[in-house]
């Protein structure tokens, strides 16, 4: 039996175009001789639909989608995720379901059992969990249907759950497992996902067909990587990452497979490809066409600009250079060289006179006070205003270039360098930005060598360096990762050998600047714990103050 994996990129709530894509994939799978085609979790609506699920009209459109897909299921089974209504009064109004369609009929629907409520997930807010588990019979096979998280409590070892859905299905002796998924990307998750899926296959000794979403939904990026795992736990098929696709698998080949086709999963290439897709889909799905960045000659703006060009094309990215009296000649040259290397439009608007005008107007109010962070922030906000003026006039969406290290400790100016419609590298630590730059330059010099080599500086006062205000980035990033990603408190971090006063200082900076992060653009998520929906902290609090 030939089974098709349909790894698709949909838009949340765009039922018309989602339906068109799904029907096209069904037709293609049928033409290729598939007896069954499998789509991801909540494929009709896109994932995560969040509070759209609270609108009756939204659910009606999802139901209408299933009816159209049902009509297309003649001579091919369609397995697809969609929200379905809970017919009883008790519990939530909806289920997160996988529906099995064939010959114009609904054969079975299996509801999701394990509803994740952590990090970016909030499924228990909307869905009722399953209480019934039944294999589906098709062409002489018994099939275990499952949805994403339902495979993540093998042996009841996950403390978040008390049920293992597969243990409910195994007494019915299924021949293989289908798992429809919406598993978001982070640079550790692809390897962890395969490990979990292999453990399931090892436990149950039957093949597993796993289909994941691909594409970015605002800040959340889905990497695809749909899988077929053979009974001996070898990866029979691993579909491309960050690309749509349709692949036909013969079940008989899987049962006899011993060849491992698992792809490499190096961190920096994965982050690079995820960010490019994140920018591309953010613009494409909203309908934006062109981007603008403030190109300073520094590393962060250089990497962001290169990623934007890769995602949108050189004709759709422009940059603005805004040197001040504190900008070095090298910075301006590096910025110009990068723009020329990329073949993009660049304009230079010096801010020295604008800044001088500000100081003249404020002098009566500032009289007797020394130059400090206030004057630095004025420069950042001048640049932000100039960039937003071009954005408004020409429709270029401003990309924010702040890295995660800076965002964590508040090393940025609200309404200045923290402005923008999308934060591209806000989940990439400074040390990782250096790695990205070297990866970008792996074949030839795109980012000027001097940009990578010079000490980082905001250039807002004479001779300024980031190290004047922050610990060295290798130390800072290590502490930040322990606190943010690993949720280690001060005692645990100090026990790892870090200076207590340094740890206290860094953690206080993180907590005190929560108010800034609440006012910044959506951050493309590439780590296990990104700023945004996945990290919910109070603004007003006294912890570590």
Known catalytic residues are: 41, 112, 148
* Backbone φ/ψ region at 262: left (φ over 0), alpha (ψ -120 to 50), beta: beta
CA dihedral 103, 12, 190, 200 (to 10 degrees): -40
Q: From CA 144, how far away is CA 140, in angstroms rounded?
A: 13
Phi and psi of 208, rounded to 5°? -130, 125
CA atoms within 13 Å, Cβ hemisphere of 274? 33
Tokens (6 digits) for 452 = 């990578």
Tokens (6 digits) for 52 = 């759209």
Q: From CA 299, how far away is CA 402, in angstroms rounded?
A: 10
Q: From CA 29, how far away is CA 5, in angstroms rounded?
A: 9
Task: Say if CB 8 and CB 28 are below 8 A apart.
Answer: no
Burial 477-497 (b: 16+ CB within 10 A, else e): bbbbbbbbbeebebeebbeee
Q: How far is CA 192 from CA 59, 152, 184, 196, 349, in A?
A: 33, 11, 12, 6, 48
Phi and psi of 126, rounded to 5°? -115, -30
Could you give the 3-state DSSP secondary structure of residue 140?
Answer: coil
Q: From CA 311, how far away is CA 381, in angstroms rounded?
A: 27
């Amino acid at each position: 039996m030939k089974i098709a994996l349909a790894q698709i990129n949909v838009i949340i709530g765009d039922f018309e175009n989602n339906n068109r894509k799904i029907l096209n994939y069904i037709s293609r799978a049928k033409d290729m001789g598939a007896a069954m085609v499998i789509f991801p979790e909540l494929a009709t609506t896109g994932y995560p639909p969040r509070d759209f699920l609270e609108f009756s009209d939204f659910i009606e459109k999802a139901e209408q989608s299933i009816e159209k897909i049902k009509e297309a299921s003649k001579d091919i089974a369609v397995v697809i995720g969609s929200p379905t209504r809970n017919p009883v009064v008790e519990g939530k109004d909806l289920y997160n379901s996988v529906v099995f369609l064939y010959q114009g009929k609904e054969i079975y629907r299996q509801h999701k059992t394990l509803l994740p409520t952590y990090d970016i997930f909030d499924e228990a807010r909307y869905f009722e969990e399953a209480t019934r588990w039944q294999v589906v019979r098709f062409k002489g096979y018994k099939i275990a249907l499952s949805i994403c998280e339902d495979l993540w409590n093998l042996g009841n070892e996950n403390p978040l759950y008390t049920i293992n859905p597969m243990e409910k299905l195994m007494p019915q002796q299924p021949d293989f497992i289908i798992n429809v998924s919406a598993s978001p990307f982070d640079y550790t998750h692809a390897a962890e996902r395969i490990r979990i899926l292999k453990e399931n296959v090892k436990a149950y000794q039957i093949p597993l067909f796993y289909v994941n979403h691909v594409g970015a939904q605002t800040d959340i990026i889905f990497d695809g990587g749909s899988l077929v795992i053979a009974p001996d736990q070898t990866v029979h098929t691993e579909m491309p990452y960050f690309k749509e696709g349709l692949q036909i698998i013969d079940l008989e080949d899987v049962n006899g497979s011993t060849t491992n086709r698992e792809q490499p999963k190096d961190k920096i290439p994965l982050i690079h490809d995820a960010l490019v897709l994140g920018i591309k889909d953010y613009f494409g799905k909203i309908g934006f066409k062109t981007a603008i960045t403030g190109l300073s000659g520094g590393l962060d703006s250089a990497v962001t600009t290169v990623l934007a060009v890769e995602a949108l094309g050189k004709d759709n990215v422009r940059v603005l250079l805004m040197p001040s009296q504190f900008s070095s000649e090298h910075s301006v040259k590096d910025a110009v060289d990068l723009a020329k290397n990329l073949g993009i439009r660049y304009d230079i608007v010096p801010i020295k006179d604008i800044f001088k005008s500000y100081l003249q107007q404020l002098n009566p109010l500032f009289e007797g006070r020394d130059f400090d962070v206030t004057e630095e922030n004025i420069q950042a906000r001048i640049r932000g205003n100039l960039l937003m003026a071009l954005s408004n006039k020409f429709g270029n969406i401003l990309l924010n270039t702040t890295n995660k290290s800076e965002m964590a400790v508040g090393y940025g100016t609200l309404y200045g360098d923290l402005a923008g419609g999308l934060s591209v590298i806000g989940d990439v630590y400074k040390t990782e930005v250096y790695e990205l730059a070297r990866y970008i330059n792996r074949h030839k010099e795109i980012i000027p060598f001097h940009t990578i080599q010079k000490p980082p500086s905001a250039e807002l006062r004479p001779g300024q360096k980031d190290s004047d205000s922050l610990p060295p980035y290798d130390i800072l990033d290590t502490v930040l990762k322990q606190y943010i990603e690993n949720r280690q408190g001060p005692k645990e971090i100090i026990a790892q050998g870090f200076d207590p006063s340094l740890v206290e200082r860094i953690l206080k900076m993180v907590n005190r600047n929560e108010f800034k992060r609440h006012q910044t653009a959506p951050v493309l998520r590439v780590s296990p714990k990104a700023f945004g929906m996945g990290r919910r902290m109070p603004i007003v609090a006294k912890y570590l103050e």
